Structure 1
Amino acid sequence: MAVAALLLACSLTPLHAQDPGSGGPTPGAPEPTAVPLDGGASLLLAGGATYALNRLRKRR
């Protein structure tokens, strides 16, 4: 019963989109927003390689 009341209360609150002046990137910005992919991607790649090597060693 409490979950249904919570869902009903959340569905009645109005949702508003951000306008360009609210801190987000402005339309027509000269450069796209930079996303740092180097650190996380290299850690995931190293973890995947380690996992694959362990699986290959266990197979033998």
Structure 2
Amino acid sequence: MKKRNLITLVIVVCCSLMANGQAVPPPIPPPPPPGLPIDGGILFLLIAGIFYGVKKTRD
């Protein structure tokens, strides 16, 4: 009976040590914030607006 308790104790201690030795995965990084790039489209609209304004003033 004493031998059985000792074996059970050794198994429980070994299993708990192995469970503590597991690596924790790193947290998942948050997604980037939503947004729309403001680049060449704004410049195109500005130039088109200037041409439209010049055309309307000449007419």
TM-score (normalised: structure 2): 0.41
Higher relative contact order (CA 8 A, sep 6+): 1
Q: If the length of structure 1 is used for normalisation, what is the TM-score?
A: 0.40
Larger Rg: 2
